[in-house]
Copies of this chain bind each other. A is one copy, B any other.
Amino acid sequence: MSTLTTTDPRTGVRTDTDIQATSDAEVAEIVQRALGAAKEIEQRPRPWRADLLDALADALEERREDLVDTAAAETGLTSARLNGELTRTTYQLRLFGEAVRDGGFLEAAIDHAGETPMGPQPDVRRMLVPIGPVAVFGSSNFPFAFSVPGGDTASALAAGNPVIAKAHSAHPLTSRASFEALSEGARRAGAPDGTVGIVYGQAAGSKLVGHPGVAAVGFTGSLGAANHLRAVIEERERPIPFYGELQSVNPLIVAEAALAARGAEIAAGLAGSVTGSGGQLCTKPGIAFLPAGEAADAFAEHLVAAMGAADPGVLLNDRVLSSFREAERELGEAPGVSSLLGATGDGAGDGFSVAPRVLRVPAGELTPDHTVEAFGPLVLLVDYTDTSELLEALEAVPDSLTTTFHADPDDYALVSGLLPRISEAAGRIVFNGYPTGVRVSWAQHHGGPWPATNSFHTSVGITAMRRFLRPLAWQNAPAELLPAELRDDYRGIVRRVDGVLEVPTA
């Protein structure tokens, strides 16, 4: 048995916790309990499941102060940011509760028996059902929103599946405190034992992913860690989906008219988006394209001033720090790059602190060497002389979670020409705003082409549930053996009946 440690990013001091790594036997036991819970949850009506999500939100709220304090100590993030993140997390749980009550996510459809151009056909009914226990691997940068109580957990539970979280090594105490809150909420809601579980330690995480009882993995983190887990999945007898949210450069494109009209304002907004949370957001704009010229120079000056005045705080842990230092060095040394703010290694002091960086390069010199993700307060400005140069430079940018345009109506022709390419290369296209601060809502999509994610699904918003559901069809089933939602007389959810939309009646 090994003991987990925790580190204060403000000092770099590492201390032992009282948490032991989970043994293989314990992992197996936890999965067994989850499998038992899965069977029981499936029998409960949807309103109960929605109440469970509300109860989890309540339990987290009740422990808000302790959770935020614990996370602040382990992550170096500010209390303001962590309070906001916890609010987002409980809001998300309740929103999924609404979606569960709504029931549209079941994608229920009924085709009655009858004569068709293909002859007489049987009655066929279909809806989505839960897939089974889901393993959740959260990220270091969102101890609440993408960790033990985050989006993967909320969407998997909403879909009707038990969840087993792997505690993050950079915030084990926060992970445990979050899990205890969830456990308490689940207990109060009368959830079966095993509805939520947690394992500690990397070996336990691998064991979990390899366990035959686990039906899917939700993952937010680095490509390296993802590849390790994907290799474990490859070894399984029965393959399971791995939903990975991995890395993203998030290009931001400023067009000419917008730059002329409000360059200083865009620069100030960009500075906030790049330095917020220490630049440690998967949606941080890491590269910004500007039409070369005097307005771009002025923009750069505004940006440097605003970023120089920002306090990026400390990075989350030593791995994030060393990755940032490496990216900072690589980008600084890439051909044609000039440094407008800071130098590699700046900001080093107690703990994992860094200073904001602004770099600049002409679009004609842009290569993939210039577009590595720097997870921290760094942005690379790229000056483009015309649309074709911009389009060519964009080829050096990896596909991302987001692409952002700052464009005024006079720029729409340019944007229109770029949109087909941008649509292929991003999961969300932002206009005249910033990609950080992902709205939790019905229409949200948080995902993107490889290497941003490895799936066609979102990890934020209501449709995140789709990852943890599978279709099941019933043919000529007696009404009493059908799920309530698929019986003829049920009218509580939207369904497609004989090809025609049937709206719920109140």
On A, residues with C-beta under 8 Å from B are 39, 42-43, 87-88, 91, 98, 102, 104, 107, 109-111, 116-118, 121-122, 124-126, 129, 131-132, 234, 238-239, 241, 409, 412, 415-416, 419-420, 423-424, 426-433, 435, 439-445, 447, 449-451, 454-458, 461, 463, 469-478, 480-481, 494, 496, 498-499, 501, 503-504
Cβ 8 A contact of A427, one of B131, B444, B471, B504:
B471
Contact B431 A474 (CB under 8 A): yes
Contacts of A43 in B (CB 8 A): 420
Contacts of A124 in B (CB 8 A): 428, 439, 441, 443-444
Contact B494 A470 (CB under 8 A): no
Cβ 8 A contact of A111, one of B419, B423, B439, B476:
B439
Contacts of A475 in B (CB 8 A): 428-431, 433, 435, 439
Contacts of A472 in B (CB 8 A): 423, 426-429, 445
Contact B481 A442 (CB under 8 A): no
Cβ 8 A contact of A463, one of B107, B412, B499:
B107
- State whether A125 and B239 are in contact (beta carbons under 8 Å apart), knowing that A428-B473, A463-B471, A475-B433 are contacts in the complex: no
Top-3 shortest CB links A-B: A109-B443, A445-B473, A456-B470
Name the residue of chain B whose CB is nearest to the CB of A468: B456
Cβ 8 A contact of A499, one of B91, B98, B239:
B98
8 contacts between A and B (CB under 8 A): A111-B441, A126-B463, A129-B423, A427-B473, A428-B475, A429-B474, A432-B476, A445-B473
- State whether A478 and B126 are in contact (beta carbons under 8 Å apart), knowing that A447-B471, A494-B501 are contacts in the complex: no
- State whether A443 and B480 are in contact (beta carbons under 8 Å apart), knowing that A91-B118, A238-B450, A457-B471 are contacts in the complex: no
Question: In the complex, A122 Cα to B463 Cα: how many Å?
Answer: 18
- State whether A121 and B439 are in contact (beta carbons under 8 Å apart), knowing that A427-B473, A475-B430, A478-B412 are contacts in the complex: yes
Cβ 8 A contact of A431, one of B107, B238, B476:
B476
Question: In the complex, A276 Cα to B116 Cα: how many Å?
Answer: 21
Contacts of A433 in B (CB 8 A): 122, 475-476
Contacts of A449 in B (CB 8 A): 238, 470
Contact A412 B481 (CB under 8 A): yes
Question: In the complex, A431 Cα to B117 Cα: how many Å?
Answer: 23
Contacts of A470 in B (CB 8 A): 447, 449, 456
Question: In the complex, A3 Cα to B322 Cα: how many Å?
Answer: 57
Q: How far is the CB of A368 from chain B (nearest CB, A)?
A: 12
Contact B238 A456 (CB under 8 A): no
Cβ 8 A contact of A481, one of B107, B419, B455:
B419
Contact A125 B499 (CB under 8 A): no
Cβ 8 A contact of A430, one of B116, B420, B476:
B476
